[in-house]
Amino acid sequence: MSTTVSDVQISENQEPALLTRLGYLTLILIIGCICVYDNILNICFAHLLPETEQNPLCRLIIEKYGGVKQLILIKSYMTLLGVSTMIALVYTRFRICIAVIFILSLCLFFYLTFYCPEGDYSIRRLIKENKTSNSPLRVVYNFYFVNSFEENSKLLNPTYLR
């Protein structure tokens, strides 16, 4: 059996395509983790969310369509739908959208983690905030590894929420 130049080129192109797909799937995994991080913060700060939410669509859901609990459910469903859609995009020519969504998700992660209401974004201030207060990273860590299920379920107690 003889091999032609086109056979060799096809087999050489398969390996980079596999690595490219694995790279995009890794980006999707990170995007999904950032979405979960955002939703866990919604749970942990549910009692403050009606007053502090800055996203107009989320504010609308909280105020008119069922409160924080409904927002958390909608975000969970949309995360599943978004991740599923991006997995399907990996196998199309539109996979570049995944990289754009990844960059936007990283911006969201840094915004959620390092947002300062006073506008002081100096390194000294950020380090002080993360050491002295309940930083978002610490809150999420406590949610998964320190708090009991009962403590976490109390975060969505209806007495705190409208």
Instruction: Say how far apart CA 42 and CA 62 lie, in whole Å.
Output: 11
User: Of 13-22, 112-121, 153-162, which gets the smallest average pLDDT?
Assistant: 153-162
Dihedral of the alpha carbons of 106, 111, 114, 117, in degrees to the nearest 10: 170
Residue 121: pLDDT band (50, 70, 90) is: low
Distance CA(82)–CA(23), nearest Å, equals 17
- Measured distance CA(71)–CA(41) in Å, rounded: 12
- What integer pLDDT is reported at residue 159 of this predicted model? 57
State yes or no: pLDDT of 84 exceeds 70: yes
**Assigned token pair, 134:** 């309940």
Average pLDDT, the chain: 84
- pTM, whole model, 2 decimals? 0.81
pLDDT of res. 113:
87
Listing DSSP states for 22-70 in one string gives HHHHHHHHHHHHHHHHHHHHHHHTTTTHHHH---HHHHHHHHHSSHHHH
pLDDT at 16: 63
Distance from C-alpha of 31 to C-alpha of 102, rounded to nearest angstrom? 6
Q: Which is more confident, 152 or 64?
A: 64
Q: What percent of the chain has pLDDT over 70?
A: 78
User: Sign (positive/negative) of CA torsion 136, 138, 144, 148?
Assistant: negative
Residue 32 Cα to chain centre, angstroms: 5
Per-residue confidence band for 160, with pLDDT thresholds at 50, 70 and 90: very low
8-66 pLDDT tens trace:
444 455 556 889 999 999 999 999 999 999 999 999 989 888 898 889 999 999 999 98
